[in-house]
């Protein structure tokens, strides 16, 4: 396809500034109407690739979604991953740690949710909360916070060495878009469960969160576990970009259907004999 979504990848060792990255994806010169059929095709391709991944049972995929409140994590899950076969694709959501989780190291609950062979797992929030909400609210000391980046990189290295492919998406929205999304939730009674007074307290910390997101992608985008910064003001662009990056990535994974030991020609004869009995 003509669009080069690979440029959304943060190259390992390169430092990006979020304030320099457009949240509206203007440079892509793509309309909603042009995007719709491409997204549809991507979803069909993803379904095929997922089935092969499941059948192969050798590799797995971990998708990490992080964003500010209202950034579109839930919508991405619904539109890009919702159509996949739930036998081989699941979502793990990370909330405020329970008392038992808080009594363990921060990766304990995360490691338990990583994908098994053949599986795609989508993290709705993740171990990265440790360098986001925990850092912004000083829930740990600065010294401890500093150690987390290396610990996360080492953890992801371990997963990658066990045939888990890691793709991480930061959904990048503007402050205006966040306010609009909060309004949409206030205006729609079906979305009231999604809005809280606390969302406005977090919004007041916008700059601290952006600094934390920036460090997160700069310190933890690695060749075997890259971060992509997805312009996410337009939901259709966000879904298109993520689906395209996934399709392109999975097509390069060399996923192999397993060879069967069964003699298919012999099975075909059994079938034909059965048909004769019935006729």
Alpha-carbon torsion, ordered 50, 52, 58, 64, to 10 deg: -10
Contact 106/121 with Cβ under 8 angstroms? no
Q: Is 201 in the site for ligand AMP (CB under 6 A)?
A: no
Q: Considering only CA atoms, which of 12, 8, 16, 18 is closest in space to residue 210? A: 18
Tell me which of Mg ion, ligand AMP, none is bound by residue 129, counting a contact when its beta carbon lies within the kind-specific cut-off of 5 to 8 angstroms: ligand AMP
Tell me which of ligand AMP, Mg ion, none is bound by residue 16, counting a contact when its beta carbon lies within the kind-specific cut-off of 5 to 8 angstroms: none
Q: Considering only CA atoms, which of 77, 176, 103, 93 is closest in space to residue 129? A: 93
Contact 123/62 with Cβ under 8 angstroms? yes
Which of 95, 142, 201, 276 lies at the binding interface for ligand AMP (CB under 6 A)?
95
Tell me which of ligand AMP, Mg ion, none is bound by residue 9, counting a contact when its beta carbon lies within the kind-specific cut-off of 5 to 8 angstroms: none
Closer residue to Mg ion (CB): 69 or 233 = 69
Tell me which of Mg ion, ligand AMP, none is bound by residue 96, counting a contact when its beta carbon lies within the kind-specific cut-off of 5 to 8 angstroms: ligand AMP
Q: How far is the CB of 71 from ligand AMP (least distance, A)?
A: 10
CA-to-CA distance for 171 and 112, rounded, in angstroms? 25
Contact 75/184 with Cβ under 8 angstroms? no
CA-to-CA distance for 187 and 236, rounded, in angstroms? 21
Binding mask 132-151 for ligand AMP (x = CB under 6 A): -xx-----------------
Locate all alpha helices (DSSP H) within 173-263, ordered by sequence. Answer: 175-187, 197-203, 206-220, 235-251
CA-to-CA distance for 114 and 90, rounded, in angstroms? 10
Closer residue to ligand AMP (CB): 53 or 129 = 129
Among the listed ranges 7-15, 123-131, 167-175, 232-240, the one in contact with ligand AMP (CB under 6 A) is 123-131
Among the listed ranges 67-75, 83-91, 156-164, 240-248, the one in contact with Mg ion (CB under 5 A) is 67-75
# binding residues, ligand AMP (CB under 6 A): 9
Q: How far is the CB of 244 from ligand AMP (least distance, A)?
A: 25
Q: Which residues bind ligand AMP (CB under 6 A)?
A: 94-97, 125, 129-130, 133-134
Q: Which residues bind Mg ion (CB under 5 A)?
A: 69
């Amino acid at each position: 396809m003509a669009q080069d979504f690979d440029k959304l990848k943060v190259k390992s060792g390169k430092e990006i500034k979020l304030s320099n990255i457009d949240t509206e994806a203007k440079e892509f010169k793509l309309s909603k109407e042009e995007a719709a059929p491409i997204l549809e095709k991507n979803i069909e391709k993803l379904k095929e690739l997922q089935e092969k991944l499941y059948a192969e049972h050798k590799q797995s995929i971990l998708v990490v979604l992080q964003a500010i409140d209202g950034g579109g994590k839930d919508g991405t899950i619904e539109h890009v991953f919702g159509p996949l076969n739930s036998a081989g694709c699941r979502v793990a959501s990370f909330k405020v740690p329970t008392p038992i989780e808080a009594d363990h190291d921060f990766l304990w609950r995360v490691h338990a949710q990583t994908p098994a062979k053949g599986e795609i797992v989508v993290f709705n929030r993740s171990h990265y909360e440790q360098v986001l909400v925990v850092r912004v609210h000083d829930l740990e000391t600065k010294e401890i916070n500093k150690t987390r980046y290396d610990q996360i990189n080492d953890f992801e290295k371990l997963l990658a060495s066990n045939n888990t492919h890691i793709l991480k998406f930061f959904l990048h929205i503007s402050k205006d878009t966040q306010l609009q999304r909060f309004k949409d939730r206030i205006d729609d009674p079906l979305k009231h469960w999604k809005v809280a007074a606390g969302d406005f307290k977090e919004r007041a910390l916008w700059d601290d969160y952006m600094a934390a997101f920036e460090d997160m992608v700069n310190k933890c985008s690695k060749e075997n576990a890259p971060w992509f910064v997805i312009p996410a003001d337009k939901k259709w662009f966000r879904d298109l970009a993520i689906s395209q990056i996934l399709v392109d990535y999975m097509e390069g994974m060399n996923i192999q259907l397993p060879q069967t030991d069964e003699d298919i020609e012999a099975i075909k004869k059994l079938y034909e004999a059965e048909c004769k009995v019935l006729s």
